[in-house]
Amino acid sequence: MSRLPVVVFLSALLLLCEGNPCCSVPCQNRGVCTAFGPQNYECDCTRTGYHGHNCTTPEFLTWVKISLKPTPNTVHYLLTHFKGFWSIISSISFLRDAIMTYVLTSRSHLIDSPPTFNADYGYKSWEAYSNLSYYTRTLPPVPEDCPTPMGAVGHKELPDAKLLAQKLLLRREFIPDPQGSSLMFAFFAQHFTHQFFKSDMKRGPAFTLAQGHGVDLNHVYGDNLERQHKLRLRKDGKLKYQILDGEVYPPTVKEVGVDMHYPPHVPDAHRFAVGHEAFGLVPGLMMYATLWLREHNRVSGVLQDVHPDWDDERLFQTSRLILIGETIKIVIEDYVQHLSGYHFKLKFDPELLFNQRFQYQNRIASEFNTLYHWHPLMPDSFRIQRRDYGYKQFVFNTSIVAEHGIGRLVESFSNQIAGQVAGGRNVPRPIMHVAVKSIENSRRMRYQSLNAYRKRFSMKPYSSFQDLTGEKEMSAVLEEFYGHVDAVELYPGLLVEKPRPNAIFGETMVEMGAPYSLKGLMGNPICSPEYWRPSTFGGAAGFAIVNGASLQRLVCDNVRGPCPVASFSVPDEKDSGSVINSGASHSGDSDLNPTVVLKERAAEL
């Protein structure tokens, strides 16, 4: 589309926006709109690379850049094909480092730092910057005085949330993820993100209960000192635990006295107590909580072997830093690697950014929280050791964890496929109420449209409903509900968007989610030049644990007996049921004392 029709179109929209000319979003390319009365406005194009009344005319260098830059789908295609080529590239250190540096910087620089807006301040303010009880916002909320809920386009009223969810999101038949994601992946996504997605529903979805706005492992240690102290053994740097059938499990609520969300019918013996108060919800969350509990106590033992003179506090604090490092490495090299589908091997190496313009701070955006509602991942039932559990049998049933054991849960979840997230109509009926609530909360936040976020993250906006969905039936429903493709809401749009070929997500989910993820991970303090050194982690032994971390190692170091294959993708049939010789067990009572031999550990790494 040439610039003239764009200007004509924007001018027509402005005539509709009697109260606020910025409702039509006249400023393009990240220009900032300021209204001067009901008809006049000004676009601030500073440092956007564009100029003109609506920031639509590119500067010369910007024109060259956008002319040469491939589309996100082209880049995705290149990275998910030509496996042999990427294997060679990944084996050449300087090339891999150069590409990984570009991936990190190009993605992270899409996230504003310091933060700019929140749900109550659609303009720059000290409150939006300093008040950590808010989620930040990538785009300001739609002004309240606009002619339509989405600004200046679409119907005067949004469709009923329940009807919308029923027509477009409700599962008719389970659609498996063509990328082969496992339930091990699904539960990891849930357990990992709940440390920083903790909306304060008493105050509203704009507010968060999380203090750190990033990876601090409060789901392991608690989100305040009182909870942390109740969970700690206060000896040898370890966390409290109990022994069931010779293996370590979390202590009970009755023993430690922390608040956990359990319904009345759950007996005291099954009320496990962990850092996150809601992790008793499903066995998959408690499985990961148990693995990290065991890992913390194992790492504390390693540190005590190396530093017998250290007190409980230093052993605990250093173990926590090590586990944060392990988590970030697993997320980048296992989790993000899987969901990207890339043949290029991602690498966790904070030193790649030491010579770059990078800020070691992070604020969680509410849009990131919203897009991470991946409920289509969940199957119709959960199969563990040839037993099928429906939702009623699975939810708040922590007895499953101890009954089957962590190793068997890992094996079962690694072998059951998850659902496809994009493409619509794949949210299971038992958790449809969560999808409806997500739509309702998004409206309370007054998010801008799916297309507005596509433009913000350097994607071409969809030109029609069929362009969005890739088919005719759902696009017709969307047209009836919204009237204009620029009025499609963010959350429903993400779930009905056509998936990339043989992929779990559509383009928007990946191109929005990746910048938030990588900025949050690499913006962690442990990745800074001041922290990223062996002494931070107790010396060479602790640093080696961080640099050698993987999902498979986490499991093998913390289950008794043969180690099951732990995978974010369902293994081929020939590999299913395989075990890995993990050597000595790290979950029994004997390992609660510092018995790990440093030389053996170093040899493994």
Q: How confident is the model at residue 1 (pLDDT cuts 50, 70, 90)?
A: very low
Provide the annotated active-site residues. Answer: 194, 372
* pLDDT the model gives residue 578: 56
Q: Is the pLDDT of residue 168 over 80?
A: yes
Between CA 536 and CA 31 the distance in angstroms is 42
Tell me the C-alpha distance between 199 and 205, whole Å: 6
Q: What is the pLDDT of residue 201?
A: 86
Q: Write the pLDDT tens digit of every residue in 373-387.
A: 999 999 999 999 999
**Per-residue tokens: 243:** 């022994």
pLDDT in tens, 541-561: 999 999 999 999 999 999 998
List C-alpha distances in Å: 327 to 347, 366, 409, 593.
Answer: 13, 22, 20, 24
Residue 8 — very low, low, confident or very high, per pLDDT cuts 50/70/90?
very low
Angle at 303 between CA 299 and CA 309, to 5 degrees: 150
Q: For residue 526, is pLDDT > 70?
A: yes
Encode pLDDT of 176-199 as tens digits: 999 999 999 999 999 999 999 999
Number of H helices, E strands in the chain: 27, 10
Instruction: Identify the pLDDT of residue 573.
Output: 59
595 pLDDT more than 60: no
Segment 114-152, tens digit of pLDDT? 999 999 999 999 999 999 999 999 999 999 999 999 999
Is residue 15 over pLDDT 70? no
31 phi-psi bin (left φ>0, alpha ψ -120 to 50, beta other): beta
Query: Could you tell me the sign of the dihedral formed by the alpha carbons of 543, 546, 548, 554, in that order?
Result: positive
Bridging pattern class, strands 40-44 and 50-51: unpaired
Mean of pLDDT over the chain: 92
User: What pLDDT shows up at residue 580?
Assistant: 64
Span 422-475, pLDDT tens digits: 999 999 999 999 999 999 999 999 999 999 999 999 999 999 999 999 999 999
pLDDT at 12 over 90: no
pLDDT at 295 over 70: yes
Tell me the pLDDT tens digit for each residue of 299-311: 999 999 999 999 9
pTM of the predicted model over 0.85: yes
pLDDT at 11 over 60: no
User: Can you give the pLDDT at residue 4?
Assistant: 46
